[in-house]
A and B are shown apart, each in its own frame.
Chain A
Amino acid sequence: MRRWFFLGAACAAAAALGTAGGAQAQDVKIGFILPMTGQQQSTGRQEAAAAKLYMAQHGDTVAGKKVVLIVKDDGAVPDNTKRIAQDLIVNDKVTFLAGFGVTPAALAVAPLASEGKTPEIVTAAGTSIITEKSPYIARTSFTLAQSTVPMADWAAQNGIKKVVSMVSDYAPGADAEKSFKDEFTKKGGQVLDSIRFPLANPDFAPFLQRAADQKPDAIFVFVPSGQGGIFVKQFVERGLDKAGIKIIGPGDVTDDDLLNGMGDAVVGTITAHFYSADHDSPTNKAFVAAFKAANNGMRPNFMAVSAYDGMHLIYEALNKAGKTDGDSLIAAAKGMAWESPRGPVSIDPDTRDIVQNVYIRKVEKKNGELYNVEFATFPNIKDPVKAAVAK
């Protein structure tokens, strides 16, 4: 009995020494809080893979300091996110917090970021207000309105006059519905009907029938990415594509991560988004090839590129600031501009939100695989919600 006790004590002591020895005081720790389990798992998987890829490509030493990546799973539950963030700030003394699969998770951490003066790099959640909740928040993903407003512009410019909007009944769905409708009606279009269906909706058939009976030129759709395929399949099953109705929407609907599983039915779907794995640039080709090689052929999606750019922002802020306190780092992040796999991006110095191109894409089959092929560009889009307030 006694022997076991000593053995245990020795182990504990060794463990304590180990952590003390492993974590040098000058290490820079990055706490990535991601949903690695649960419904948002795809986001977590993509982001963690991209962050690791960035470190593998760019080394783990920045400005003379060793960078340590800590990935924690919050299951997209805001309570968990907050607890984990607190733990990371207080015990691990992280220099950056990053990740945040859903808006409530990002919001839950905002007060901690302010209090701990820890920069919070949002690499997923897309609600506009997030960056306003703390002066230490910067974002490298997107805001939903960045996709929906150009989508509405494009539709209005390209002969689409009457639209029925169909969204899942949750906060991002309502946001998408509103920002699309506002912009589209401003540009002279008409939204015939705004249909919302429950988030856990078993069957789109009745809603689609209702939309079809109003004979719109297009249906604007926003659903959580996993449901996009089912939606489009039922749309085609009903013969609506042959009736000349188009599907348009933000690019979450034709997520690169799931696109190939959706089947040929999705061919022709038009979406607006900031990233497609098919984006034609040398930076992106190299990124996609490296990502696939490191992850067993998995195709990067818009979440992966957001995390990759998040890591880039962190590295460059460290280089530029030369210090590791929150105020200098977030100051260094403001106005940062670089060439991302998605195209040219920058961090708006006023809002700390990302400024990026938004592309209009159409799903096409290339070499036996489905891709979102970009065919029109809306350059340097700032978050339209905050831009509207600033005016």
Chain B
Amino acid sequence: MLTILYDGIAYGMLLFVLACGLSVTLGLMNFINLAHGAFAMAGGYCTVFLVNRLGLPFALGLPIAFLVTALIGGLFERTLYVHVYARSHLDQVLFTIGLVFMSVAAVDYTMGSSQQFVQIPEALQGQFEVDGIGMGKYRLLIIVICGLLTVALQLILAKTRFGSRLRAAVDDQRVARGLGINVGAVFGITFAFGSGLAGLGGALGAEILGLDPTFPLKYMIYFLIVVTVGGTSSITGPFFASILLGIGDVAGKYYVPKLGAFVIYAIMIIVLIWRPQGLFARGAAR
């Protein structure tokens, strides 16, 4: 029973790291980025390349995956995304889904279509028992990293000057500009950071979710569910949504395997009927 809870939390945490970048771009910047999963995939492949091909230690692969995807994200933001910010949501969706297909084909071409496996160190394999609860070591690592990230993100958004600038830029771009805030740069950094997080999530998740060129398409729906259920106005919303969905998904699959895959959607429907703006939405609709 507690093992299920533990697995659920680990899975939820992983979902959160993967999806929180999306909740930032979607919620804070009001931009629909369906290509978010492509950045997660980039992070995953980056780790596979570094760890398996170049033989770097896994612990070094993770931060590099974060940096590389953040860099790619930043580059794309400056060169491509910046042109579609002001366009309609339909344009944004079409643009980013195009990017997804391009990334799928590009990875297919360069890395092949087969499943990739990251070689994780021996020390992280296997599980240990506490009070009769089996806990996977790798999953514990995920929980720790993701927990720290969540706290850090919340602090950055709420306490730092950058956080307040970002919130100001989101609330009213014109006024923010008038006050001398470089909105473009703020968005650029935020976007890059969100992409980096996705990359880190992809790198961490390769072991559990698998990694192949269709990754962005396969998991797009999960990211979107997390963001819709969580509401798009904060970090806490998606965080609790991820945990809820993770536990719900794992528990559902354990207790009613025949319906298991449907549980996550059922939770989404119920939450959205109850709170159409998501769990932690601000009162006013945008």
Instruction: Output the least CB separation between A340 and chain B (Å).
Output: 25
Chain A residues within an 8 Å CB radius of B115: 226-227, 229-230, 258, 261
Would you give the 0/1 interface string for B126-148, flagging 1 where the beta carbon is closer than 8 Å to chain A?
11000000101010000000000
Asked if A209 contacts B212 (CB within 8 A), the reply is no
Chain A residues within an 8 Å CB radius of B112: 41
- Indicate which residue in A203, A229, A239, A257 contacts B209 across the interface (CB closer than 8 Å): A203
Asked if B257 contacts A197 (CB within 8 A), the reply is yes
B103-154 at interface with A (beta carbon < 8 Å):
108, 112-117, 119, 125-127, 134, 136, 138
Closest chain A residue to B8, Cβ basis: A206
Instruction: Output the least CB separation between A232 and chain B (Å).
Output: 10
B132-185 at interface with A (beta carbon < 8 Å):
134, 136, 138
B7 within 8 A of A: yes
A230-284 at interface with B (beta carbon < 8 Å):
230, 233-234, 236-239, 257-258, 261-263, 265
For the residues of A in contact with B, the DSSP-based class is: helix
Closest chain A residue to B7, Cβ basis: A205
Chain A residues within an 8 Å CB radius of B127: 237-239
Instruction: Output the least CB separation between A38 and chain B (Å).
Output: 7
Asked if A226 contacts B210 (CB within 8 A), the reply is yes
Asked if B214 contacts A263 (CB within 8 A), the reply is no
The CA-CA distance from A34 to B210 in the complex, in Å, is 25
Asked if A237 contacts B138 (CB within 8 A), the reply is yes
The CA-CA distance from A209 to B134 in the complex, in Å, is 10
Asked if B218 contacts A200 (CB within 8 A), the reply is yes
Q: A207-B253, A236-B125 are in contact. Are A229 and B117 (CB under 8 A)?
A: yes
Asked if B257 contacts A195 (CB within 8 A), the reply is yes
User: Which 8 A-B residue pairs are closest in the complex by CB-CB distance?
Assistant: A206-B253, A41-B113, A226-B115, A206-B254, A198-B261, A206-B250, A205-B7, A230-B210
Interface residues of B (CB under 8 A from A): 3-4, 7, 11, 108, 112-117, 119, 125-127, 134, 136, 138, 207-210, 212, 214, 218-219, 222, 249-254, 257-258, 260-261
Of the A-B pairs whose beta carbons lie under 8 Å apart in the complex, a sample of 6, sorted by A's number, is A42-B113, A197-B261, A202-B219, A229-B115, A261-B115, A262-B117
